[in-house]
Amino acid sequence: PEHILQASYHAVAQALDEIRRDDTDPKKVYIQHWIHKNPVICNALVQLTTGSPNPIYHGGLLLARLRYFDSGQERPGLPSDVSALVDQI
């Protein structure tokens, strides 16, 4: 888990650096210009907490056998004070 989280952190830092260095005029770029610079990278989080692969395209559906529900907040997801690590399904 530490290795994949470190790799994800590095990927986020790299994406943020690319955004900072991008001097392209936003009025002249196609919307797809930003997809590869998106610093929101959830692959490791999804794999480690659900044991499933991340959706392969932006907006794809997550196919997981495991779902979490926060009964205190009455919402999907882990409660804020809970963590999860799935190592086998």
Tens of pLDDT, residues 18-30: 999 999 998 898 8
Residue 58 has pLDDT above 80, yes or no: no
Against a cut of 0.85, is the pTM above it? no
48 to 29, 64, 66, 68: CA distances (angstroms): 35, 12, 11, 13
Confidence band (pLDDT; 50, 70, 90) for 50? very high
Indicate the DSSP class of residue 61. Answer: P
User: Exposure string (b/e) for 32-60, b if CB count within 10 Å is 16 or more?
Assistant: eeeeeeeeebeebeebbbbbeeeeeeeee
